Structure formats: C-alpha cells, structure tokens
A and B are shown apart, each in its own frame.
Chain A
C-alpha cells in the first residue's frame, strides 16, 4: 500500500507521522499544515523563545497583571485544573527552577501556588519573581491534540504519530488489524511491554535514554514540585489515554508524585491507564484501576 511519511523538527525534538494509504502528492499539503500547527504552538508555548506568549507572561506577570489570549487562557485553565487534580504533582510554574538548579530546595519559593490565574477575566499575575511558566511537560500533548483535530477534519482515518518517541498517538485503527501495537522498554534493564492503541495515545517519561549519550546531570530534567528538586529515580512511567494531552501531563506528574499525590491522581484519572517500571522491576506494573 501507499505509505506517506512526514518528518520535521518541533519543540526541540523530531516529529514523525506515518499515514497508510495516502499518496505522496496528497500528503504534501497535509505535511505543510501539520508543520505549521507545530511551529505555531511552539511559538506560543515555548519559554525559550523570547517573543512567545509564555515568555511575555514570564517577563511581565511578576510585576503586574497580564491579559492573555483566548488560546493561552485555555492552556492556563488546563494547567490550573491539572495542578489541582494531581495534588500539585503537575506544576507548570517551575521554569526558574529548571533554568537554575542552584535555586533548588529552600531557596526556591516559586511554583503554581504563586500563580494567580483569573480565568474569567483572562488575567494572570505571579506573586513572586521566582515563579515562571514552563509548558515543557505539556506542549507536545497539546500540539498532538491539534494535529489529531486537523487529521479528523481532513477525513484521515488512520495515522501513527511519534513525537520525540516519548509521545505516541495512534489515530484510528491499523489498516491491517484493529489495533496498533508498540513495544516500550526500560532503557537500563531492557524490560519491555506491549501496548495496543486504537484512537489512543501513550506518553513515556523516564530519565535514562536508550542512546546513553547524556551526562548524569543532563538526565535530570523532571522537577519534583513539593521538594523543589529533580527526580532522580531511574523509573519509566507510561500513561495510556484517549487524550494525548492528558497522557503527556500525567506521565510527568506520576514521575514526580509522592504517594499521596499518586492516590489523588488515580482517583481523579480513573479512566486512564498508568504503568510504572522501576529499575529493579521485572515488568511494567499497571497501577491504575
């Protein structure tokens, strides 16, 4: 069969989309629009781009209230809700801590609890200058949701998308079977698990990489909000959900969550499958109902 493949760079990683049954000529327009969606969302959400809306908020909101766009309001609504429903394990207000590890511990007083978000007025204000928004554990899922909406509008009924190999979406059914099958393995132990996807997404969070080309310090990139410290456990968390966005934020949140936060997450996200594989686990254990 014809297989259309599109690859591009976005959000600091590589995006790959495979569309069975689509010719190259039909896929060209599709790939242009999808690339545009990704670039547009990155330009809005990246705290590393000086002119993104997030960067403008980070610059100005510590000083005075800032009005945000409708799209950013939807993002902030989601961050607020997820912060509450994860008991603070997902915290989008930790950008300064990620930028400057020297702030870790008691020296750091930022985070979402210092964000004053007025959804009705679309106004945001930070109570201190150590608070700044980071949508790194959110952006790929948000962008994937937009891409899926576009594919649906174009009547594309089957596609497989890998965003940085850590955010994977199977749109529709596999053309040769009902479900797409993927294998995810723990990079240190090789313990693997098979996941079946049909109109579902998985997000994978972990520290170690398969390529092993990072220093130990570079591997620590997920913040544990309550302790203001980096997650150092060598575990892999996989979240399977119908929503790529929920999968994305939960995989990060579970990596960083305390026991009490895990309980809250399991209660509030009971329809989502959460798997954990520790460095000494023989299997990926499903911790959700």
Chain B
C-alpha cells in the first residue's frame, strides 16, 4: 500500500473508531534503550517549575549523568516556583518569559509543565524554532489547540512527547502485551476511576488574592477541564491502548457536589465511552472520597488486568487452601467440640506459594514510568526520531478527554468530528 493510501486508510479507520496504531513496538524499543553511556548531551529547558515541573526536574537530576542530559534553562512567571526551580537546577539560566528561554543556545528540547491553557502556544513556538518538546498531558484546553499542536509536530518534524508516562511504565507495557496477545480474552468492559479526598487547592498568598486563578488554574474552566484533563486523560489513553481502538461516542455527566468554593470545574463526574465492538469504558472520578483510589480494570472473558496495581487476575484462579489449623477449628466448632488450634507460623513465607492475589505483571515494579519516559524522550531527541505510534496514542487520549468534557457540558452524546482526525 502506498504511503498516501495507507494514511487515508488509517485516517478513515480511526474515524470509524478502530485500528488505533498502538505503539506495539514500545516494549522492544524500551528494551533497546541504552541506559548509560549514551551519545551527545541533550540540553533541556523546563518551562513551568510548579509541582509537576519540579518532579520532572528531580527525575532528570537523578538520571542526568548516566543519560547525558542537562537542564540549561528554566522559566516560570510565578516567583516562588522559579525559586524552587533554581534550587533544583542552580546552574540553569532562569527566565520569566518562555520566549527568552527559547533563544538559549544550545537548547535541544523543552519540557512544558505549565497550566493547560498555556501548552499549545508554547509548544508550537518551540517546535517552530526547531526545538523538540516534551509537554505534560493533557495536550491542550481546546480541540482546536490540540489539533494545532499536532499539525505543528507533523509540519516541523520535531518530536512532540506528551506526558503519558504509563506508555513507558514496565507494568503497563507488560499488561498491554498480555491484552494484545489475547491473554485477557475478549475485552468487553473497562472500568476506570480516580478518587481522591482533598480540595485540590494550592495555597494562595494571603496578600495576593489576585493570584487565585493563576495558582489554582486546575479549578477554572478557562485554564483546565479539571478532573478530565488532569486525571481522566491518563486513563482514557490507557483504555484506548488496551483496545487498540478509539471510542465512537461518549456520554457523561458531572457536578460540583461537595467543594462548593467558587471553583468552576466538576468535583464529581461519570462517563461512558462506547467502542465500535460494543465495549464500554465506564469512567468516574471524584475528590471527596479516596477509598477506591485509582485503577483501570480491563476485563476480558479470560482475565482482568489492573495495571495500576501491577496485577493480572485469571478468571480461573486456584482456590486458596485453608490452613490445617483453621480446618480443624471449623470442624470442632460445628461439632461443639472445644480444642486447641495448631497454628502459628513464622512471619511471612509458608503461605506465599499458595496465595492467589493475581499475578504480578512486573515483579517488584516500583516506578510510574516518568523516569523511563524522560530517558525515552532524550533518546528520541538524540536520534531525531519519534517512537512510531506514540504521538497518536497521546493525541487521541487528549481528544477523547475533551470530547468527554463536551458530553458533560452539553448533556449530549458526543462523537469525533472528522476535522480532528490526524
């Protein structure tokens, strides 16, 4: 198939809700990544040194020497954030205007961790200046901005990584391979949720109340879609990845049901994304109860994947045997016999081999993928080549996140316009 007809075929397939190009080669690419002694130095700028930016900078510092990376410039227009950034990268040039940062030489790539509504124009300016970009998710506040970022990436040929770190998390890579190899059977339903119990606010200086929207940007609709773009975006991407397909429609509802403090974004929402094969993604998020935490439950007729917990559960698990002492105790009680229970073992080991709490996807996995993604980004920058299929995953994760918000806002069943298919 020629490139043009292949692209047309993929585009029409995506529009029909199928054939999403999963980055199936990601596992092998990760395996090939050199973790030490890599080639030329990658000079990085960080735009936005708030909590997420600082987290990424800390990771970079921890891997910089082995991976030949250096933070050469930072930028934030909020002084306390910039000061925090300078404490993490004391040798970096500091700016309050990102356009000045883009003029730094040498500068290979920038990491953008600003409020959501700032992502698009900073990303496009960087790409147009020949600078590769790692931009935090979600991509942008609006569909048009999201599309413009994608077009800039395709137009310039510069790398655009979006901060969907699960795409680099070993337990997700293993789980998705199992899903794609059929080990879960036919996936027909995915339940995903993200629950927290806090007001999601950041402290605003008492003498500067005018900074409320700038600091708590996640709570205001001009800046963010709240739970959808800051949390759900990750899980919608994971669902599409598991299905290797896109939804065909979404319906949803949401409310400000608890934190009635002037915020504009929902603190409680629920959506259903439907796929062409009848699969349903049932999603909810709230920030007034944390009991159930965070998970994607990817359910097939042979098993369930819970990648956040690093677990796979077979539909036919072995039954855990009762310890002999418990068997005897039950028999004695049922016969009204009083006796002692022979029990009491050393602290942890004897029962491990007999337990079934699912199977660990990656033994001892203790990463969230951010470190691996930054290494992957640096390698892509060094080679000047994007990872095949990766950007599409992220793009449609953001697109269907915004469509979900539209469903909540309008109360209508929302579908994808062909205009936004890349």
Given known A48-B366, A174-B338, A210-B350, contact A43–B344 (CB-CB < 8 A): no
Q: Which residues in A have their C-beta under 8 angstroms from that of B323?
A: 14, 16, 162, 165
User: Is A10 close to B, CB under 8 A?
Assistant: yes
> How many angstroms from the CA of A214 to the CA of B171 in the assembled complex?
27
User: Is A236 close to B, CB under 8 A?
Assistant: yes
User: Is B4 close to A, CB under 8 A?
Assistant: no
> How many angstroms from the CA of A12 to the CA of B293 in the assembled complex?
20
Chain A: how many interface residues by the 8 Å CB criterion? 69
Given known A13-B355, A51-B294, A181-B340, contact A252–B347 (CB-CB < 8 A): yes
> How many angstroms from the CA of A150 to the CA of B6 in the assembled complex?
61
Q: Are B349 and A221 in contact (CB under 8 A)?
A: yes
Q: Which residues in A have their C-beta under 8 angstroms from that of B325?
A: 162, 165, 182
**Which one of A105-113, A120-128, A198-206 contacts B?**
A198-206
User: Is B205 close to A, CB under 8 A?
Assistant: no
CB distance from B413 to the nearest CB of A (A): 32
CB distance from A67 to the nearest CB of B (A): 10
Q: Which residues in B have their C-beta under 8 angstroms from that of A18?
A: 326, 329-330, 333
Q: Are A51 and B293 in contact (CB under 8 A)?
A: yes
Q: Are B309 and A194 in contact (CB under 8 A)?
A: no
Q: Are B344 and A51 in contact (CB under 8 A)?
A: no
Selected contact of B320 from candidates A7, A222, A252, CB within 8 Å: A7
> How many angstroms from the CA of A10 to the CA of B355 in the assembled complex?
9
Selected contact of B347 from candidates A182, A183, A222, CB within 8 Å: A222
User: Is B97 close to A, CB under 8 A?
Assistant: no
Q: Are B345 and A165 in contact (CB under 8 A)?
A: yes
CB distance from B360 to the nearest CB of A (A): 8
Q: Are B366 and A166 in contact (CB under 8 A)?
A: no
CB distance from B217 to the nearest CB of A (A): 20
Q: Are B350 and A165 in contact (CB under 8 A)?
A: yes
Q: How large is the interface on B (under 10, 10 to 19, 20 to 34, 35 or more residues)?
A: 35 or more
- Chain B: interface secondary structure? loop
Binary contact track A10-39/B, C-beta < 8 Å → 1, others 0: 101110101010000000000000001000
Q: Are B347 and A12 in contact (CB under 8 A)?
A: no
Within 8 A of B (CB), among A162-206: 162, 164-166, 168, 174-177, 180-185, 187, 194-195, 202-206
Q: Are A166 and B345 in contact (CB under 8 A)?
A: yes
Within 8 A of A (CB), among B319-350: 320, 322-323, 325-326, 329-330, 333-334, 336-350
User: Is A207 close to B, CB under 8 A?
Assistant: yes
Q: Are B338 and A176 in contact (CB under 8 A)?
A: yes
User: Is B364 close to A, CB under 8 A?
Assistant: yes
User: Is A224 close to B, CB under 8 A?
Assistant: no
Selected contact of B309 from candidates A3, A51, A211, CB within 8 Å: A51
> How many angstroms from the CA of A12 to the CA of B368 in the assembled complex?
21
> How many angstroms from the CA of A236 to the CA of B72 in the assembled complex?
57
Q: Which residues in B have their C-beta under 8 angstroms from that of A207?
A: 346
Q: Which residues in A have their C-beta under 8 angstroms from that of B364?
A: 48, 99
Q: Are B341 and A181 in contact (CB under 8 A)?
A: yes
Q: Are A14 and B351 in contact (CB under 8 A)?
A: yes
CB distance from A155 to the nearest CB of B (A): 19
User: Is B356 close to A, CB under 8 A?
Assistant: yes
- Chain A: interface secondary structure? mixed
CB distance from B349 to the nearest CB of A (A): 5
User: Is A81 close to B, CB under 8 A?
Assistant: no
Q: Which residues in B have their C-beta under 8 angstroms from that of A36?
A: 291
Given known A18-B329, A50-B368, A51-B309, contact A180–B347 (CB-CB < 8 A): no
Q: Which residues in A have their C-beta under 8 angstroms from that of B339?
A: 181
Which single residue of chain B is at the shortest CB-CB distance from A70?
A: B197
CB distance from B237 to the nearest CB of A (A): 17
User: Is A9 close to B, CB under 8 A?
Assistant: yes
Q: Which residues in A have their C-beta under 8 angstroms from that of B55?
A: 60
Within 8 A of A (CB), among B80-114: none
Q: Are A236 and B346 in contact (CB under 8 A)?
A: yes
Which single residue of chain B is at the shortest CB-CB distance from A2?
A: B334
Given known A16-B326, A211-B350, contact A9–B320 (CB-CB < 8 A): yes
Binary contact track B349-379/A, C-beta < 8 Å → 1, others 0: 1111111110000001111100000000000
Selected contact of A219 from candidates B291, B338, B349, CB within 8 Å: B349
* A-B contact sample (11 more), CB < 8 A, given A14-B354, A176-B338, A195-B344: A9-B320, A9-B355, A43-B293, A51-B309, A60-B55, A60-B58, A181-B339, A185-B342, A187-B346, A194-B340, A221-B347
23 contacts between A and B (CB under 8 A): A5-B326, A5-B330, A7-B326, A14-B355, A16-B322, A18-B326, A18-B329, A49-B309, A49-B310, A50-B310, A50-B367, A59-B368, A60-B58, A181-B340, A182-B325, A184-B344, A185-B342, A203-B347, A205-B347, A209-B345, A213-B350, A219-B349, A221-B349
B residues with CB within 8 A of A:
54-55, 58, 169, 171, 291, 293-294, 308-310, 320, 322-323, 325-326, 329-330, 333-334, 336-357, 364-368
